[in-house]
Every structure is written in C-alpha cells, then in structure tokens.
Structure 1
Amino acid sequence: MHKKLFFVSIFSLLVWLATSRAQAFSSADSLAQLVNEAWQIIDTTYYDTTFHGANWKSLRQKYLSEHYHSKAHAYAAINEMLAQLEQPATRLLTSEEFAAFLQEVTGQPHDGLGLLELLSVDLDERTKQLVVVSPVFNSPAARAGLWPHDRLTHIEEAATAEMSLKDAMKRLRKPAGQEVKLTITRENQEKHFALRSEALTPTASALYTAVKFEQGRKIGYLALRMFLQNSSAELREALIKLVQKKVQGFILDLRHNPGGSMASCLQIVGAFLGELPIGKISSRGVISVLAGQGEKLTNLPVVVLVNEGTASAAELLAAALQSHQRAILVGARTFGKGLVHGFQQLSDGAMLMVTIGKLQTLSGEEILREGITPEVAIDMPPSLTETVASTNDKQYLEAVKILARRIAPAGDRK
C-alpha cells in the first residue's frame, strides 16, 4: 500500500499530517505497484469524479498491462496518466524535487530568486502559462520589479510555452551568485530581467509590525508577507503587544502575500474572529466548512490592504474578515487562487500532488480566478520596489482615512 504524507494546500495552504520512509524499488512488480498506487490515489482523492472526461478505469488496465523495466519508465507512465486530467497542479515529484519544494514553502533558508514553487510562480489554470503570483519580499525577483500576473515566457533561452512547472523550477533554482535571465509579458509588452540568485531566509521578513501615528490616531500596522508555520504565534503575540501599547485600531497589510500554512491562517483568523466559520471546501460533491481557531484577541477596528499579489491563504483571511464585516478591504482585486491540494507519498518516496478540492467563501463563491473584491478600490501598480505604508502609498493612505473614521471614542474602545 502507498504511505501518505498529506497536506492540504489552498494553492499553497499547507497542513502536514504524517511522514513516511521511502523503500527501494527495482523489480517489474514493484514498478507496476508504483503505477497502481498513483492510479488509486487519483481514483479516491481527485476532486473531479469525472476526471476531466478521461475513462479512468480503462487507463488502469492500459498502464498495468505494461512491463516496466526502470523507475523512469514507471514515472513516465504515471505522468502520462496525470496528463489526461489536464490539471497542471496534479503532478509527480521525485523525493529530491519534493525536498526542494518543502524547503521553500516552509520558509527554510535556501538559495533562489524569490520565485517559490506554487507560492510565487505557478501555472495558470486556464492558459497553462507560467505566471508570477508574488515574489518573496526583498528577494531578487521583487527588487528587479516582477509583478503579480506577469507571464513568464522564457527562462534563459528556453521558451516556457510547453514547459511544466517542475521543469521551470529546475531552471529557476540556482546556487547563490548564479544569474538567471527571464523574459515576461505584462499588458502585451515584453520585458527582460537578469536576476542573480542569493541566499534567502523568508522567515526573517514574513511579519513586520509598527505603531504609526496617523491623523491623530495611534494605529497598529501589521504586514504579513507569508503564512509560515510560526506566523500565527508571531502575529498573535504582536497583536497582544500592540493592544498593550494602546493602539486604537489595526491595518493588516496582506498585499503581495502569496499564501502558506493553512494552520497559521486559521489561527490568525481566530485572533480577529474567534472560532467562527470562515469558508468552505468543495470536494467530490461534499462541502466542508473551515473555521477560525484559537481565542479572539481584539475587538478593535480593522482595515485590510489587498492587491493583485494577495493569494491563497491571504485571500481566505481577507474573505473571512470581509464576510463577517469584521474589516473593510482596501486596494485591488486579489489574485484568485482557490484549488485545494494534497500530497501522498508513493512507496519509493516520490510524492504525488493531487488537486482534491476548491476553496469557497463563506457565501459559497469560488475564489479560483475570481479573487476577492475590496469594498474600496484604489488603483496602484503592484510593485514591491515602492515604499509601502508611506506618503507615496495611496492604498495605505486610504486605509488610514477609513480606519480613523471607524475608531470609536476613547470610552468605547475594547
């Protein structure tokens, strides 16, 4: 039987449930077993029970009738099966590829450009083009000026039109000091970038907090740039300290936040809402309800900043606060990443990534492709090279105005 390493990813919302140890496989029977394991995982967990029109039962007969002479041969068969689903996120990762992916999305130190797999760069569900979601804050990609929704057309001289995300990541992951040339299209204009890989530590810049004095108000500013495993504890601690400093309200900045840990997301939602329902997951005809976790820490007014780089877990958080009228959203419509993924480990240690559901808002609207629309739209280029939360930041300034109006008289604060 296949062993499981599950996580649930709302386009990169991660929840780890178990681990297992790889086994050695070389015989024809063992290689056929790998193919069968992959087929069974899709058959029992893939979110679309029509399998995009593929005759999934007959595919099993076809591929199990073959004689496999190498692991590469078995992997090729698995990839052929998965291609029938036309769902690029559902794919096979070797143990080495999965290790690199895990190192990035959990915020561990690594060499790179700031274009993390699934979080910062992904395949568009409709066009199958490589697209930038949002670069890691203060990374080479961010400083160079890559924006959300930039279409990545070339990596060095290689065109990406028929390139899988797995192949693209092999070309984007380089040791520190090596240069990578990228070509993108933005609003039908071609742009060229030369990025140099460097040592990155995403945890160092995942959360920034400050007390700001604006329009006669004392405001707690929290910029959450990724959802890492420790982000919920850090943000909850920051909230408590800001309340102790007698702030009168909060601006929660989720701009350029591509997502991350689902557990952290639910706990952060809980800090503002408590254990209320916040969204839904639709999978194989079943609707599951997500709820905030942990104690509610504040009743102070909140304004949330969002933009085109707000994705995945950040969209879930923004939608939850909006649905319960706990916060007013300011900025631009969010990215629109709303598929739910799981990983299961095959017997040889390879990982099968499977799309297992779709994320919905509390009212049942899908986030995928639609995103979350803020109540107050403020047009502003989604650049990470500009100074945020400053006099040049139009979205921030509008958030300050709205929060100042929402702040209650001193005697009514909680």
Structure 2
Amino acid sequence: MHRSIRMMFISFVFPALCLGQAPTTAVVTKTDPIAYLNRAIDIMQTQALRRNLVDWPKIRATALTMAAHAENPAGTYDAIRFALASLGDHHSSLHLTPALEALEAQEKAKHPSANPVAISHESFSPYVGRYEPEGHLERRGDRSFGYVVVTRCFPENDRQFVAFESKLQKILAELDQSRPAGWIVDLRGNVGGNMWPMLTGIGPLLGEGDNLGEFTDSAHVSTWRYRDGVAAELDGGKASPYPAVEGAPYHISGTPNVAVLIDRNTGSSGDAIAIAFRGRPNTRFFGEHTQRDSTANQTFELSDGATMWLTVSVQADRTGKQYIDGLSPDEEFPAATRVMPPSSDPVVQAALDWLSRSTEQSMTER
C-alpha cells in the first residue's frame, strides 16, 4: 500500500480532470476479492476523518453482501464505493486505471443483477464552465471596484502551476492600477483542484500570514502560509513551500474591502480559498452554501492498482473554526440557473451595494 502526500482534489464532478497518483497501468492480481475488500475497509476504518461516526459492522456486512459474487477485486469496486459513500464526507472516492475500468465492466456484464451504488446528480452551478482566471472593473456611481474570477486549477506540472498563479497576480496588479475602492472575488463554480496556486495567485488581496487556514483532524494541525509570492504548508514548524510566482510578487497596500462570491459548486480547494478569506477583516460572503466537501484527501493504493482518495482532515479558518459541511454566505441567494452579466446578477449587485456602503462609511469615519 502506498500513502501519498495530502491531496486537495475534488473527484466527483469532473473525474477525467483529477490528477491523482494512481499508476497508469493496472497490475491485475489473483487477490482473494473478499480479502481485498476487507483490506480497503480496514484502511477506511483506521484512516478516515469520520471513522468514529460510522457503524463499521453494518457497513462491512452490507459491502460483503454486495460483493458476494465477486470473482476478482474488480467485482468489489461498487462495494468499496458504497463504503466510501457511507463515510458521509462527500469527498472520498475510488479511482481506477483504464484497464481496471474495462475489467469492472466485464464483471458487471457477468452479474447484471448486482446492485450499483446510487449516485446523486445534483444540479450543477452554471459557473462551473469557467476555466481561466479573469478580471475587470465594475463601476458603481463614481467609484470602481476590482472583479476577479478564481477558477478551478488542475496543473499537470510546475510550469502550469506557476502560469496559473502568475496570471492571477497579473490580473490583480493591472486592476489595482485603477485604485479600486474595493474588490469582488468570485469563487462560484470553482470545484477545486490544487489549492496552492490559487492561494498564491490571490495572496496579494488575501494578505500575508502564517495561518490563513488549517488542515486539522483529532490529533494533528497544519497551517496555510502565503508570503512574498510563495504559498506553503506549515507542519510542526517545518514549511513545505510550493513554486513561487513568476517575477516580482505583487503587493496590495492596506486591507481593502472584499466581497467573496460562493455557490453550491464552490468545493474542495475552491472551498479552501473561501475559508482562507473567512476571518479576514473587511470581508463579506454572498451567494449559496458551498459544496460541503471542505476537506483534504490522501491517496491509498490498493493491490491491483486501484486508488482510494480518502478524506483524512477537515479545513478550518484562521480562527480554528472547522467547516466539515462547507461554508454559508453572510447574504444568501437562490441557486442560479444561468450565467448572468454582472449588471443583472443579484449576487454581484448585492456585493457592490455592500462595497459601496462600506466605502462610504470608511470615508465618513475619516
């Protein structure tokens, strides 16, 4: 069994895009399928974040019944998916190589009466289709406000990692030349990926610090840092830095007002960025409750090359508050059914209302 470093990938919205560490070729073995299934459940029972909230005898018995006709490990995959879903963390998942997918299809063809795992098909946010960071200025009266869209990020290498974070900082730098009175950070539809280039990219607006958020479980805490163009995870005093932004990092002076937009598909790493803004001064949230998977995963490789992405820790903000069930906005709105221009988007307009009032109040207090 191989245990990877912590992963921050969402796996069930766009599985083809997820960058796990499963091998590229399958090693099909003659492993006893029942022993294989029991081993997978053993890993869940000892490592999962919610391991103490689950009726393991019941889950194991149900999973073994589901796999009663299994002739090889591929016949147990649905039973493993059932056990992972029973954890209730909305984030754990099973990942197969193409060869194992083909083998599973063969097994299901032999036993068509087997009960598949029920999969929920929720209505996706219309903002899921955004792929690249973007920015522009929004005007309200005689004031302008910076508007930045932070999209999901699935870098395949360091070059793509740096390109994403550098593009975000470049957007901030260009908009900041207009001296905006406040900012909107739009995380709607950000289903996740790798959180660290997102954190670095938006870092100048988020602000520097050694504890912008946390990964935490019952026995361990590591924190998120952004400083001078570099994001890092701090664990026991040791920093694990990620690739630095290209060129000189940008710095935004002061702590400007920031409106953060979230929705039902702000998840995983997207949730992490929202949580990093929670507790920041002069910040308010607008939209919908997030996707309810504000957790972090580790990968566990099984004997045939299948890989479990298992939720082992929960995200917390800089105050230590945990968000195992996602994040609620300060001002909630009905679920959007289509992408709207900012001028007719009620979430954007509410954010601009708040930014305008906050700016006016700040000027009055001076």
| CA distance 1:41–1:135, shift in 2 (3 Å) | farther
Question: Does structure 2 retain, via aligned residues, the 8 Å contact 1:280–1:362?
Answer: yes
Q: Displacement, 1:384? A: 4.8
CA distance in 2, matches of 1:266, 1:348: 35
Question: Does structure 1 retain, via aligned residues, the 8 Å contact 2:50–2:87?
Answer: no
Q: Equivalences for 1:194-343 in 2 at 5 Å?
A: 203=131, 206-229=132-155, 230=161, 231-272=164-205, 273-292=207-226, 294-295=228-229, 297-299=251-253, 301-309=256-264, 311-312=266-267, 313-343=269-299
Q: Displacement, 1:408? A: 9.0
AA matched with 1:220: G
Q: Which runs of 5+ in 2 are unaligned?
A: 102-116, 156-160, 230-249
SS of 2:54 mapped into structure 1: helix
CA distance in 2, matches of 1:98, 1:303: 46
Choose from 345, 358, 382 the match for 2:301: 345
Q: Deviations over 1:292-346 (max 9, x none)?
A: 3544621362322424335223333233323021423344544443233233333
Choose from 53, 60, 72 the match for 2:55: 53
AA matched with 1:382: A
SS of 1:26 mapped into structure 2: coil
CA distance in 2, matches of 1:304, 1:243: 16
AA matched with 2:176: V
Relative to structure 2, which stretch is displaced further, 12-21 or 47-56?
Answer: 12-21
SS of 1:340 mapped into structure 2: strand
Corresponding residue for residue 3 of structure 1: 2
Choose from 13, 16, 24 the match for 2:27: 24
Question: Does structure 2 retain, via aligned residues, the 8 Å contact 1:282–1:357?
Answer: yes
Tell me if 1:383 matches 2:336. Answer: yes
| CA distance 1:16–1:244, shift in 2 (3 Å) | same
Corresponding residue for residue 134 of structure 1: 125
Paired residue total: 308
Question: Does structure 1 retain, via aligned residues, the 8 Å contact 2:261–2:287?
Answer: yes
SS of 1:324 mapped into structure 2: coil
AA matched with 1:302: N
AA matched with 1:369: D
CA distance in 2, matches of 1:274, 1:128: 40
CA distance in 1, matches of 2:222, 2:99: 31
TM-score (structure 1 length as normaliser): 0.59
Q: Displacement, 1:221? A: 1.6
CA distance in 1, matches of 2:355, 2:91: 39
| CA distance 1:393–1:98, shift in 2 (3 Å) | farther
Q: Deviations over 1:377-401 (max 9, x none)?
A: 264x4325252311x2333233334
| CA distance 1:133–1:280, shift in 2 (3 Å) | farther
CA distance in 1, matches of 2:48, 2:69: 26
Q: Displacement, 1:217? A: 1.6
CA distance in 2, matches of 1:228, 1:25: 29
Tell me if 1:70 matches 2:72. Answer: yes
TM-score (structure 2 length as normaliser): 0.66
Question: Does structure 1 retain, via aligned residues, the 8 Å contact 2:151–2:187?
Answer: yes
Question: Does structure 2 retain, via aligned residues, the 8 Å contact 1:306–1:330?
Answer: yes
Choose from 331, 336, 352 the match for 1:400: 352
**Higher strand share goes to which structure?**
1
